[in-house]
Amino acid sequence: MIGVVSGERLFRGKVFDVVREDGKDVVEHAPAVAIVAVDGEERVVLVRQPRAGARRELLELPAGILLPGEDPLVGAQRELREETGLHGGDWVPLASFFTTPGFSDELMYVYLATGLDEGDPSPDDDEQITIERYGPDELSGLLETVEDAKTLVGLLLHLRR
C-alpha cells in the first residue's frame, strides 16, 4: 500500500503508546484477558472498581493486561487469582476480539472457568476491588446494567452455552 509509514511514534505512555500508521493514529496496547468465572455455587464472580476511562466505578469480568510474551491462558489464570483468589478448575476459551478496532490494536481473550477453588486475592496496591457474585437467575437482569463491552460479550456467550 502506498503511504504506509510504520511506527511513527507520537506518544509514549505508561500503559499504551500512540503511533501514526498510514495517516491514522493507533493506540498500541498490550493484549488483555477477561474471565467468566463460575464458583462452586454456580455464581458468576464479577469485580466492581473505579475505572480511569469511565471515570467512575464499573461492574466487570475479572480482567487484566498480559505481561510481555505471556500466554493468554496463563495470564487469565494469573489475573483471576490476583483479583479474586479463585484458581484451579477447568478453562475453555469463549472468544477473542478487538475491543476498538477503529483506533486501538488491543486484543481481548475471554475464557470460561468452572470448578474453581477459593483462595485469597492479592490485588495490586493501586487496585480497589469489590467482589460480587451473581447466581444463574440473576444474569439476565444483570445484563441490563452492565456497561462494559467484554463483560457483555462474556456473559452473553456464557448464557448461550
Nearer to a copy of itself, 82 or 105 (CB): 105
Integer Cα distance of 112 and 158 in angstroms: 8
CB of 40 to a copy of itself, least distance (A): 27
The residue from 7, 53, 68, 141 that contacts a copy of itself (CB under 8 A) is 53
Choice between 82 and 89, CB closer to a copy of itself: 82
Q: Is 55 in the site for a copy of itself (CB under 8 A)?
A: yes
Q: Which of 70, 118, 127, 138 is catalytic?
A: 127
Provide the pairing of β-strand 56-60 with 16-21: unpaired
Among 11, 115, 117, 128, binds a copy of itself (CB under 8 A): 11
In angstroms, rounded to a whole number, what is the distance separating the alpha carbons of residues 46 and 36? 8
Q: In the window 31-50, what residues touch a copy of itself (CB under 8 A)?
A: 32
Whether 127 is catalytic is yes
Backbone angles phi and psi of 154, in degrees to 5: -65, -45
Residues with Cβ within 8 Å of residue 97, at least 6 apart in sequence: 107, 108, 110, 153
Catalytic residues: 127
